[in-house]
Amino acid sequence: MWQAIQTIEPHCTAEQVTAWVKGADPRVARSTVYRILADLCSSGDVVVARLDAGGLRYELAAAEHPHAVCQVCGKVIHVGDELLQTLEEQLAATVGFRTVRIDLTVNGVCRDCAAPSRRTTGRPQHNHI
């Protein structure tokens, strides 16, 4: 399971993990994959995030990092640690809040989708011939 999450892509779905695992061993049940994913999340080895309407996404646990998700194409961008540090410092200075964990997803439109050729509809352009 660990190798599947590491190999597929960052932010993989349970369905992608299931397909990868079944490719390696077709005898593995879908319910087993979901149970192991839940166990990995409970242990802190894997983190889960709801990044888009496509459901939960899984990735190996690493340093906390916020995500920026394009609402047009679904691209997921990791946001730098310096922004988290600034947020933590501001929370501490203004309201005396000590951060334990940050789980942040910023929704918007990526640079490619915001390009002038796509700006008029807010959706990917399709060429019709």
Per the annotation, where are the binding residues for Zn(2+)?
Answer: 70, 73, 110, 113
Residues in CB range of 38: below 8 A, 6 or more apart: none
Residues in CB range of 78: below 8 A, 6 or more apart: 10, 65, 66, 67
List the binding residues.
Answer: 70, 73, 110, 113
Q: In Å, how far are 15, 59, 102 from 7, measured between CA atoms?
A: 14, 10, 25
